[in-house]
A and B are shown apart, each in its own frame.
Chain A
Amino acid sequence: MKLVKAFTSGAVRAFRSVKALLMIWLLTFSFLAVFSYPLKSFLARSLGNTASTALLNNSFDISYFTDLGEAFGPLMSAISGGVLIILLIFFFLYVFLNGGLFDSLKENKWAYKPGDFFRSSARYFLSYFVVMIFVILMILLAMFIIVGIPVIIMQAGSSASEEATLKMVSILRIVALLVLPIFLLVADYARAWLVANKHTKVFKALAYGFKATFKYFLSSYLFMLIMVIVQGLFAALVVKILVGYAPEKGGGLFLLFIISQGLFFLKLYLRALRYGGVTTLYQL
């Protein structure tokens, strides 16, 4: 029952937070556009009037990149260097916006104001940031313990067969995947608690995160596991669509834009549903 409630209420809360989602989309899109523009100019400059852009019609064809010739190296370093900066900036941006989103989901009303959204974002930024860092570190540590250490031990004992190592790695991967929802629940409960109590006490929040996760373990865990699977499938669908669709005309490009942003908005909605579901479980 709790599980169904979490999904339905999460979906409604996410729907009611559509204004917050739109703001998140607009902000992240604007940021990305800022980064994309120089890359676009760089590519245009490198290509000039070449006729070989037709090679790009084959989607991600490595030959195209090699054909960039002298520009290949600088382009790659520009992309890889840029990616790191983008990842960092967006990490901070999402940490910031999540405060507003959680607050909007908690309020669960249409009339939630953009001003409140940004105020909450600002208020919880630091504590959300610390929660995120801790949870990410915990995930990395858990993965290292679950997968890394056994593999290192097996590799060190050179008598272990390749077949056994492979089987072990496959099993450990599944275990790691099953453990992941627990940490996500801890993060979500901690953030929901911070917003609900208008607190900024990070460690108390994390302690509550663990407590709540195991207190309502079955429904919480099942809810999160389903969400992780759904989001995984959704990611696979997105990759399939984006890689497969290669428009060759301007109209097609516009359609690509609509589809890709539509999919991204759906991704935002699914995330909000998850947060909303955990908020519901917290309030039950």
Chain B
Amino acid sequence: MKKLIVLIFFIAGFLYSKGQVIFYEPLSDRITGYTMDVELDTEAKTVRGSLEAYWVNNSGRSVPDVQMHMYLNAFRSNKTTFYTENNGSPGSREIDYGWIEINNIINRRGTDLKNNMEFIQPDDGNQYDKTVLRILLPEPVMPGDTAFFYIDFTSKLPSTIRRTGFNDDFFFVAQWFPKFGVYETRGMRYAQKDGWNCHQFHANSEFYANHSVYKVRIKVPGEYVVGSGGQLISEEINDEGFKILNYRAEDIVDFAWTAWPGYQEYEDQWEHVKIRFLSPASREDQVERQLAAVKHALEYLNEHVGPYPWPHLTFVDPPTKGAGAGGMEYTTIFTSASAPMIPDYIHMPEMVTVHEFGHAYFMGILATNEFEEPWMDEGINSYWESRIMDHYYGPGKGIIDHDHFYLSDKEMQRISYVHAANRSVSDNTPFSWKYPPGSYGMLSYQKATTWLLTMQGIIGEETMDEIFKTYYREWGFRHPSTRDFVNIANRVVRRMHGDKYGENMNWFFDQTLYGTGICDYKLARITNLKERSFRGMVKTDTAGMIVSRDDTSDDTIYTSVVRVERLGEVQLPVEVLVHFEDGTEVTEYWHGKDRYRYFEYLGTKKVVWSEIDPERKIPMDVNYINNSYTVKPDKVPQKRLIRKLATFMQFITHIISL
């Protein structure tokens, strides 16, 4: 009987633990894992608790140390690298500062490691920066071995919410626990030798981490509503009125959570994904559109890139006081950004939702190094954002869809790049904090998006999809680099198009991803010259007489010449549409390498207008207005615009005169 009871308990325990597992077959190598038991102190603005963390040495060498990110120390003073780079400060009050302290740390054998800790500054040597912790191990971790750490820590959240922090009773808890860097083995990405890739927290940078398993127990005051990147396993209120929540998350690169008493909870389902949306009550009118947006993104990326594997997804629309936490991503939890009463025709909230969800793929599944190659998450993700927005909200109307005013997501990205004064200051290869001042966002987001859209214009959407599907298949739940992406693109383009675009696409990447040049094609001129019929003296064979002769025929023949020019450095293949007076059209293909080229036509019809890249396949072209030329320019639209502007001015000036 006793044995039977033990057996029943064992089976029940097994089934219970199996019920918590999300993926029976791990999606990633899971070389790191974290089990945490923490409590949010809403008065002191701290998260305090214990952490059990492991790291597997999957290299072929013994490793003498580990390096951990201590991100919250970026808010420790105004001299940290984070604040030095953005010339800011955590605030004027003590409560404004953020920091993280390890109160106790031991290894599996119980050896105290506190004296083995030192802060290092691998990026800039800034001694005030304590965002990277090195722990010298008593014994090296042998190849294949696992290092365990048992840590008691306290995280004080900063008040100015920059991705993480608090404001009053609102908390967004991110980058909040001691977290392993990534141990890169030789040949992985650009590593020349085995070693830790663990950068300091920079102003213009996001993160890099291994896919991990997280088991997190969170204790908060009972009235708080909590959302996290994990799957909720259990929730209870204890005798003291505290809420205890247990979460589990698998194969994600970071674990973040939020707590605020004012959240309203909304739930929805998309195929296997249970969606949970947390939003202030005052934004009820935004809920439906936000849920629709996230489902659009799920649907589109599943179809065009690869499956979203997790069965859970939480997203948050922070209240105004937590707006600083808006627009940030942590794979299975992300924050959107909206406001009450945003009109339906403005799709900015949806855009943020689509963008931040997209990071579940580009950074979450395809865990690129955001410190070193920001274009790979922000640029690629913005490219997909533009495709999704314009697909679901109307071509040309992805961002604004008003009767008299509209803007596509693609155009918005393009404008930000092509009209930027510093559009040529750098290529897309610098580390995020090494971009020239003021250029990080424009180059890593908008320039990358624009050249990816240009690439799509050249090789086609189907090929682009195939590149990303292959990229997902081969590099999902790993750490791809720029080189890996380029290799896949070259391989797929060659497989699908043969030699059509040359041996590979390096000619394209060299000019865009690795280049700083400008693309500008111009339709310089159209001339229609009447072929002159013969008028003159000829010698006839009739008795040697010279007579005048006129060969004018009824059909007037024209020589029409269309002149196209390349003004920029970038050389891309373009189409040239030529429109004749009888309505017929010819599309010419130009490799775009020469400085200029003539297209000549001999016939009875004149060329009326012509346009380079009529389908706008080359959004990198910095000036569309010179892409076309007409022999009969229509001045009516210009005049109409001026008249309307003038009339509005008439009314406005009269109104202000009271």
A binds B: yes
On chain A, the residues within 8 Å of B400 by CB distance are 62
CB pair A242–B657 under 8 Å, yes or no, is: no
Considering residues A63, A166, A244, which has the most beta carbons from chain B within 10 angstroms of its beta carbon?
A: A63
**Residue B633 contacts which of A50, A163, A246 (CB distance < 8 angstroms)?**
A50
**Residue-wise interface mask of B (617-658) relative to A, using a CB-CB cutoff of 8 A (1 in contact, 0 not):** 000001111111111011111111111111111111111111
| Any B CB within 8 A of the CB of A114 | no
- Does A56 lie within 8 Å of B637, measured CB to CB? yes
| CB of B428 closer than 8 Å to a CB of A | no
- A61→B609 CA distance, assembly (Å): 22
B320 within 8 Å of A (CB atoms): yes
Give the residue of B419, B634, B650 whose beta carbon is less than 8 angstroms from that of A66.
B419
The interface residues of chain B lying within 8 Å CB-to-CB of A252 are: 636
With a cutoff of 8 Å between Cβ atoms, the chain A residues found around residue B168 in the complex are 158-159
Q: How far is the CA of A86 from the CA of B646 in the complex (A)?
A: 10
Interface size of B by Cβ–Cβ distance < 8 Å?
64
Q: Interface-forming stretch among B40-48, B403-411, B588-596?
A: B403-411
In this assembly, does A227 line the interface, its C-beta being within 8 Å of a C-beta of chain B? no
B123 contacts the other chain (Cβ, under 8 Å)?
Answer: no
Docked CA distance A242–B645 (Å): 10
Contacts of A70 in B (CB 8 A): 622-623, 625
Hey, what's the 0/1 contact readout for A157-174 against B, CB within 8 Å counting as 1? 011011101100000000
Of the stretches B103-111, B265-273, B275-283, B431-439, the one at the interface is B275-283
Q: A51-B609, A51-B611, A158-B167 are in contact. Are A86 and B341 (CB under 8 A)?
A: no
Bound-state Cα–Cα, A153 to B179, Å:
40
Q: A158-B167, A158-B321 are in contact. Are A43 and B628 (CB under 8 A)?
A: no
Closest residue of chain A to B400 (Cβ to Cβ) is A62
- How far does the Cβ of B308 sit from chain A's closest Cβ, in whole Å? 31
Please tell me the number of chain A residues within 8 Å of chain B, measured between CB atoms. Answer: 78
**Within the assembled complex, what's the spacing in Å between the Cα atoms of A247 and B637?**
8
Contact present for B636 and A248 (CB under 8 Å): yes
Please, which residues of chain B bring their CB within 8 A of the CB of A98?
657
How far, in Å, is A284 (CB) from chain B's closest CB? 23
A94 with B657, Cβ < 8 A, contacts A39-B645, A163-B282, A260-B647 known: yes
Contacts of A71 on B, CB cut-off 8 Å? Answer: 625
Interface pair B405/A56, CB less than 8 Å apart: no
Residues in B with CB closer than 8 Å to A163 are: 280-282, 340
Contact with B along A242-267 (1 / 0, CB 8 A): 11101111101100110011011001
Q: Is the CB of B654 within 8 A of A94?
A: yes
Structural contact, B653 and A87, CB atoms closer than 8 A:
yes
Contact B283 A162 (CB under 8 A): yes
Instruction: Report the Cα distance A44→B622, complex, angstroms.
Output: 19
The answer on a CB contact under 8 Å between A264 and B651 is: yes
On chain B, the residues within 8 Å of A143 by CB distance are: none
Q: Which residues of A contact B321 (CB under 8 A)?
A: 158
Closest residue on chain A to residue B637 by CB atoms: A56
Task: Please tell me if the beta carbons of B649 and A86 are within 8 angstroms of each other in the complex.
Answer: yes
Q: Which residues of A contact B638 (CB under 8 A)?
A: 40, 43-44, 47, 53, 56
Within 8 A of A (CB), among B548-595: none
Find residues 208-260 in chain B having any chain A CB closer than 8 Å to their own CB.
Answer: none
Q: Name the residue on A nearest B633 (C-beta).
A: A49
B340–A162 touching, CB < 8 Å = yes
Instruction: Say yes or no: A161 contacts B262, CB within 8 Å.
Output: yes
Question: Residue A144 at the B interface, CB < 8 A?
Answer: no
**B411 & A63 in contact (Cβ 8 Å cutoff):** yes
B625 with A52: CB separation less than 8 A: yes
- Could you tell me the distance in whole angstroms from the C-beta of A31 to the nearest C-beta in chain B? 9
In Å, the complex CA distance between A184 and B655 comes to 12
- Give the residue among B281, B415, B643 with the most A Cβ atoms within 10 A: B643
- Which of B's residues lie within 8 Å of A, judged by CB? 167-169, 262, 280-283, 319-321, 340-341, 396, 400, 404-408, 411, 414-415, 418-419, 609-611, 622-631, 633-658
Can you list 7 A-B pairs, Cβ within 8 angstroms, ordered by A? A28-B650, A50-B626, A50-B628, A51-B629, A69-B625, A72-B419, A87-B652
If A29-B650, A63-B407, A87-B653 are given as contacts, then 13 extra A-B residue pairs at C-beta distance below 8 Å, sorted by A number, are A32-B650, A44-B635, A50-B630, A56-B640, A69-B622, A86-B649, A94-B657, A98-B657, A238-B651, A246-B640, A247-B636, A250-B636, A253-B643
